[in-house]
Amino acid sequence: MEYTVHQLAELSGVSGRTLRYYDQIGLLPPARINASGYRIYGEHEVDRLQQILFYRELEVSLDDIRKILEQPDFDPVTALKAHYSKLTRKRDHLEQLLHTVKLTIESKEGGRKMQDKEKFEGLKAERIRKNETKFGAELREKYGDREINDSNAKLRGMSEQDYNQMQALEVEIIGLLKQAFATNNPASEEAEHLVQKHKQWLMYSWSKFSKEAYQNLADMYVADERFTSYYDEKAGPGAAQFLRDAIHHYVNKS
């Protein structure tokens, strides 16, 4: 079977505009252009689009998807098995989150009173899922499965009070980063205060602290564009680099 942009859009549920954009960035070029100038897609392109949509469902960026699909050793069957495993975990997390919401509704309507710990089980599980999906592979490669599993276990066992404090501290850190970044000095008092708060925030999920691990994480803030964009979008271009430099200064000083 062969499909035009319009036909493939109807088949896949992806808009024609998106298919044309995928072609423009080299992610999904058509099999050929016919005599009338229409893009024509074949079985290979249909399968590739399916892979793209699976990766998008797992929140992988378009640039990373293109790099993955263009790897010489890319194996569609292996990729599908990985998709299945990750989507199953995502389903389990969503079911837990739905269960938490359902219990909350029942409790508010006069049913069984929820234990405080139950109120946050789904939220903590969803946070872990998002971290694993976005950064899990890199963090596990750098720190090892045991370290990351211990960190996830610590987060799952966190009390309601600690969870709320961690969330509030995460917001506070962005404000402190903006203030410290304005000094343009990673050795300033503002920068040191920022790093102290950042370290405090990390220890809500880290099982233990080491200077080397902290510096490695700081380096990832610059080396990995996903970390970089998180801080730069919230505190301004160059904020991730500033935070990295502030952490290194703090660790070398202490």
Residue 113 has a pLDDT of 63
Q: Two tokens at 7?
A: 């036909």
CA nearest 135: which of 119, 123, 151?
A: 151
Same domain as 87, residue 62: no
Number of residues assigned to the chain:
254
What is the domain range of residue 90?
76-155
Phi-psi region of 236 (alpha: psi -120 to 50; beta: other; left: phi over 0): left
Q: How many domains are there within the chain? A: 3
126-159, pLDDT tens digit by residue? 666 666 665 566 666 666 676 666 666 666 666 7
> Quick one: 131 exposed, middle or buried, by C-beta within 10 A (0-12, 13-18, 19+)?
middle
Among residues 69, 89, 104, the one where a domain terminates is: 69
Element (H, E) at 53: helix 43-57
On average, the pLDDT of the chain sits at 83
Q: Two tokens at 120?
A: 């946050």
Same domain as 167, residue 113: no
More confident residue, 149 or 91: 91
Element (H, E) at 16: helix 16-24
User: 11 near 1, Cβ under 8 Å?
Assistant: no
Residue given tokens 């409790």 in the structure block: 107
Whether the predicted pLDDT of 211 surpasses 70: yes
Query: CA-CA distance, 216 to 220, in Å (whole number)?
Result: 6
Residue 225 has a pLDDT of 82
Among residues 69, 84, 112, the one where a domain terminates is: 69
Same domain as 246, residue 222: yes
Whether the predicted pLDDT of 115 surpasses 70: no
Residue 85 has a pLDDT of 79
User: What is the CATH classification number for the domain harbouring 33?
Assistant: 1.10.1660.10
Written as one letter, the residue type at 32 is: R
Same domain as 249, residue 172: yes
